[in-house]
Each structure stands twice: as structure tokens, then as C-alpha cells.
Chains A and B, each alone.
Chain A
Amino acid sequence: MVKFLKPNKAVIVLQGRYAGRKAVIVKSFDEGTRDRPYGHCLVAGIKKYPSKVIRKDSAKKTAKKSRVKCFVKLVNYQHLMPTRYTLDVDLKDAVTVDALQTKDKKVAACKATKARFEERFKTGKNRWFFTKLRF
């Protein structure tokens, strides 16, 4: 009886090109909108996970391995698997629905989320979110 599909919830995308990827809910539309008359949410997820960094790596190599590639998408609730994890990064200003209208706005939104995800990854917190889901 507690709503759990709220912003900052970590979810796993189940369908589509990004199936199996972890994402975080930025904004949820429980009642749907006129174009999408079903419950859906705006998620920002990881397209390409950062690689494993070892102690032997040089600074240049760790920088290269810690790169994260992101995506931003509107997904139906049915195509998400919610998890018990949350990821509190502030993406509300960078990622909005109208960022999905044109290509350059979308690229700008993805760049902003990339920066936020990479700095979060480097702090070593939320390690579950940045590990690839094996299936």
C-alpha cells in the first residue's frame, strides 16, 4: 500500500533495446498523459557500464575505464522491474520530458546525466547500480 515507483528509485528495464540495463526514475506519470494513456515514467539509465578498474591501471586508463554511457527514455511501468535500491542524484533539472523532443536536447540531457553518474561512480557509492546485471 506504499507507492514505490517514485523518483530516485532504481529499476531494471525489461523490454526494448535497453533490456537488462539499470536505470533510475527521474519523473513518474502514474495517471499517464494524453499521448501515453498508461502509467509510465521518465528514466535515466546506463547504456554502457563502466569497466572494472584494477590497481595496476594508470590514471589515464582508470579515467577511460570509468566512463559511463547513458540513455534517457520514457518507459511504461509494465516494462520495468522495480528494485529495493534507490539512487539519489539530482537529475530533475537536466532530464525533462521536453528534452526528449529534439535530438540535440536529448544529447545534452544524456551528457548531463553522464557527468552526474560518473562522479557518483567515482565516489564508490551505489556500487550495485553501476555493476552490470548478469543474466
Chain B
Amino acid sequence: MQKKTHESINNRLALVMKSGKYTLGYKTVLKSLRSSKGKLIIIANNCPPLRKSEIEYYAMLCKVGVHHYNGNNVDLGTACGKYFRVCCLSIIDPGDSDIIKSMPGDH
């Protein structure tokens, strides 16, 4: 049951990478939250707890959903189709994906 939802997150994320707008990385995630452009934040599970709390606090102020990805930053980078590690990412425009509609209910 968990494997299935995990794959579906990966599929949705791949669709966002292809068709939507996103930013990767802590600095740009905070920037997108400050300018209220971010619609969903995804954080890897090995993100340092202080950084995780900080992103969650900003997201609470902006009323944006945060999804804790079931995998570390290496896995999240691979899920994004990148060859580097991604600890947190912000989805600005989901494109064709329905990740925004399905994820916050899940999380």
C-alpha cells in the first residue's frame, strides 16, 4: 500500500518536472515561500531537523502544504530526474500534474 503511493508520488513528480515549474534547493524554496509563489513543498527525510522545521514554519505562515518525501535527498534527486541530491523542492506551477490536489490530503 505504501509502495503504491510512493510510486505515484514519483510519477506525479516526474510529470511536474516535464510540464511544470519548480525550484530545487533550500534557498530558492524559502524565496518561493516568501514571494508566495510556491504551491507545494517536498522535503527529503534526511533533511536536517532545524532546516525542516524552518521550512515547515514558513509554509505554515503561507498556508502551503508540505510533503515529507519517503526517501533521502539522493532518492529525491533521482525522482526529479537529476544527477545531484535534492533536499527540498518547491512546486510553483504543477503543469499537467495533479500533485497539488492529491498530495496535501495524503499528507
- CB within 8 Å of B: which residues of A? 1-5, 30, 39, 77-78, 81-82, 84
Contact = CB atoms under 8 A, between A and B. Distances in A.
Contacts of B39: 1
Contacts of B38: 1
A76 to B, nearest CB: 11
A82 B61 contact: yes
A126 B52 CA distance: 28
B58 A1 contact: no
A5 B63 contact: no
Contacts of A2: 36, 61-63
B52 to A, nearest CB: 15
Nearest to B36: A3
20 contacts: A1-B36, A1-B38, A1-B39, A1-B62, A1-B64, A2-B36, A2-B61, A2-B63, A3-B36, A3-B62, A4-B36, A4-B62, A5-B34, A30-B35, A39-B34, A78-B30, A81-B54, A82-B58, A82-B61, A84-B61
